[in-house]
Amino acid sequence: MKTIVLDAAEGPDPQGARLRESLLAELEQAGCEVEVFHLGEEEIDSCRGCFGCWTKSPGLCTIDDAGRQIAKAVVCSDLAVFVTPVTFGGYSSLLKRVVDRLIPVIAPLFLRIEEEGEEEPCHHCFPRLLGLGILSREDEEAARLFQTLVRHNAENFHCRAHAAGVVMPGERGMEVRIRIRNLLQRVGVDHAKA
């Protein structure tokens, strides 16, 4: 399974390092082909909101930087994993910038789903989505908001499956690994099939 990891957990934070290590070990054990984008090391401009990716060059962002390559990698993958510190229940500004730059993979058509406007997909097959958040302190509300955000992004991108979870302070390596393994199973990554 081709897997793209969008890693916005920068620096030597022990929680982020433990999460990355556990995630990569679980993906390797499941036989996934993994490509990691360390977002803090990439040149990625903010979305300009010009909608040129819908009107001038459909499916292709008008900004020629790493955001284009990341969007292409995500669309060509089977699983996209967002790794981010949880900020007020949402993504870090770094990951949010990248998620905004994924707009070209959505067609400029809108559907009405459960009384909400939602974009129509422009590709027949979207990857599964796994959101992994890092909390600096226990905060159940932030964890719930993060899971809701990942679910809504999965709906907008018409993902085949999605799951989200957070790592709380003080969790040990094996606890983190088991949580990741369970989340991966929810999106269809099964160690038994590897």
pLDDT at 123: 47
pLDDT at 158: 85
- Rounded alpha-carbon distances, angstroms, from residue 92 to 63, 118, 191: 21, 23, 30
- Contacts for 35 with CB less than 8 Å, ≥ 6 apart: 2, 3, 4, 5, 73, 77
Q: Please give the structure tokens belonging to residue 73.
A: 């990698």
What three-state secondary structure class fits 129?
strand
pLDDT at 193: 60
Provide the sign of the torsion angle of the four alpha carbons 180, 159, 131, 138, taken in this order: negative
pLDDT at 184: 97
pLDDT at 121: 47
Q: Where are the domains of the chain?
A: 2-193
Give the Cα separation of 105 and 16 in Å (integer).
28
pLDDT at 106: 81
Give the Cα separation of 103 and 13 in Å (integer).
30
- pLDDT single digits (tens) 127-183: 999 999 999 999 999 999 999 999 999 988 889 899 999 998 888 889 999 999 999
- The chain-wide mean pLDDT, for the chain, equals 89
Four-way CATH pick for 2-193: 1.10.3720.10, 3.40.50.300, 3.40.640.10, 3.40.50.360: 3.40.50.360
- pLDDT single digits (tens) 85-119: 999 999 999 999 999 999 988 877 665 666 555 55
